[in-house]
């Protein structure tokens, strides 16, 4: 009995001792960022490089294609032959016009001699002079038509596509060959209506990053933009790249890129935080959790501006630059809760 009593006392002592210990309250770890003053807002748009020089080549006259000595993807030099029409019909016109021109020239010379001897009237001389002018015009036009049977490259470029074959009969104005300049300094993207006023602002800055050259940022300047949108999908904008080292970076038409448009923030009191810092309870409103000096969180109502960059949002009011803001687990916190900042 004595042994059992001692054992019971020992168990009671252990139980009382364990019940007297108080569990320490847990401190939630959180990640924070410091709210920064927002002077500029960066917005990214998908873009594409386009040809600086591109043209569809067509004959001014109709006829049968004699040859197209170039093919798709071929590099051509300025003045190089792209396509040629069978010139025989035009050559006949040239010969006929040349003969008429020579005959009119001879008649004019004879009329000039006769007029000097008063052998013909002034009216007859002027008639011969008119015939000469008309025949010369017809001859010059025929010579021009002969040169129009050949298409030559207007600049150094690459044949993007051919639209006709040898011996095919084509009409005047029908596209035969398209050539483009393989070196591009132009990029295009589509701007939303809300940015139109900022596109022409001197404080707006453009930069371009190509998928082929990740990490390399190229400066760009405004080239042109449309003030109307025909299909309501946005407003086309063209930029020109500046100071590109063509020997190091080969930029050609059709390369995909990201255009970053940096615009000045109109509200100088605005700050920016990651979108993950914002929480919106079911009761409504937008809030952030600020962390005070003793590492306790406090809910703060904020007014939001536009979203920019990859994951940033402008806070127009309710937050000051330099304040610490929780950016992870914002829906698990309570006002006044003690936290431990882990970053």
Residue 22 belongs to a domain: no
The angle formed by the CA atoms of residues 275, 278 and 284, to the nearest 5 degrees, is: 135
Q: What CATH number has the domain bearing residue 171? A: 2.40.50.100
Domain endpoint, select from 241, 264, 287: 264
List phi, psi (to 5°) of 119.
-85, -20
Tally of CB atoms within 10 A around 168:
12
- pTM for this prediction: 0.57
CA–CA gap between residue 234 and residue 107 (Å, rounded) = 67
Q: What CATH number has the domain bearing residue 275? A: 2.40.420.20
For 90-118, write each residue's pLDDT tens digit.
889 899 999 999 999 999 999 999 988 88
Examine the domain organization and report whether 124 and 97 are in the same domain.
yes
Examine the domain organization and report whether 100 and 208 are in the same domain.
no
Euclidean distance between the first and the last CA atom of the chain, given in angstroms as a whole number:
61
Examine the domain organization and report whether 160 and 70 are in the same domain.
yes
Residue 7 belongs to a domain: no
Domain endpoint, select from 180, 202, 227: 180
Q: Identify the pLDDT of residue 12.
A: 43
For 283-319, write each residue's pLDDT tens digit.
889 999 999 988 899 999 998 887 876 788 888 888 8
What's the burial of 71, exposed, middle or buried (CB within 10 Å: 0-12/13-18/19+)? Answer: exposed
Examine the domain organization and report whether 47 and 33 are in the same domain.
no
CA–CA gap between residue 166 and residue 172 (Å, rounded) = 16
Q: Identify the pLDDT of residue 11.
A: 41
Examine the domain organization and report whether 76 and 154 are in the same domain.
yes
Examine the domain organization and report whether 195 and 260 are in the same domain.
yes
Q: Identify the pLDDT of residue 44.
A: 86
Identify the domain containing residue 133 by its residue range: 87-148
Q: Please count the structural domains in the chain.
A: 4
Examine the domain organization and report whether 192 and 224 are in the same domain.
yes
For 203-242, write each residue's pLDDT tens digit.
889 999 999 998 899 999 999 988 877 766 788 999 999 9
Domain endpoint, select from 127, 148, 169: 148
Average pLDDT, the chain: 86
Provide the CB-side half-sphere exposure for 187 (13 A, CA).
27
For 77-93, write each residue's pLDDT tens digit.
999 999 999 999 888 98
């Amino acid at each position: 009995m004595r042994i059992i009593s001692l054992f019971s006392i020992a168990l009671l002592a252990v139980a009382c001792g364990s019940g007297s210990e108080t569990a320490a309250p847990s401190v939630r770890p959180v990640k924070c960022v410091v709210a920064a003053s927002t002077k500029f807002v960066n917005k990214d748009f998908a873009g594409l490089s386009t040809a600086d020089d591109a043209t569809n080549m067509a004959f001014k006259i109709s006829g049968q294609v004699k040859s197209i000595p170039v093919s798709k993807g071929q590099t051509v030099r300025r003045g190089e032959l792209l396509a040629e029409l069978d010139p025989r019909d035009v050559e006949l016109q040239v010969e006929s016009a040349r003969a008429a021109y020579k005959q009119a020239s001879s008649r004019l010379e004879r009329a000039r001699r006769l007029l000097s001897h008063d052998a013909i009237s002034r009216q007859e001389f002027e008639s011969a002079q008119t015939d000469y002018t008309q025949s010369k015009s017809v001859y010059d036009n025929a010579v021009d038509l002969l040169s129009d049977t050949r298409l030559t490259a207007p600049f150094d470029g690459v044949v993007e596509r051919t639209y006709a074959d040898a011996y095919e009969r084509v009409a005047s104005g029908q596209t035969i060959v398209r050539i483009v300049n393989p070196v591009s300094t132009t990029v295009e993207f589509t701007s939303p209506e809300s940015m139109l006023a900022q596109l022409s602002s001197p404080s707006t800055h453009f930069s371009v990053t190509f998928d082929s050259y990740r990490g390399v940022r190229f400066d760009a300047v405004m080239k042109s933009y449309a003030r109307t949108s025909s299909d309501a999908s946005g407003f086309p904008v063209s930029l020109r790249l500046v100071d590109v080292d063509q020997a190091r970076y080969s930029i050609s038409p059709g390369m995909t890129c990201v255009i970053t448009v940096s615009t000045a923030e109109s509200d100088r009191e605005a700050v920016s935080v990651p979108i993950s810092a914002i929480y919106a309870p079911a009761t409504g409103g937008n809030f952030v959790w600020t962390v005070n000096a003793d590492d306790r969180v406090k809910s703060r109502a904020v007014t939001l501006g536009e979203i920019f960059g990859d994951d940033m949002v402008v806070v127009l009011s309710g937050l000051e630059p330099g304040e610490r803001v929780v950016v992870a687990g914002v829906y698990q916190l309570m006002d006044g809760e003690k936290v431990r900042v882990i970053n």
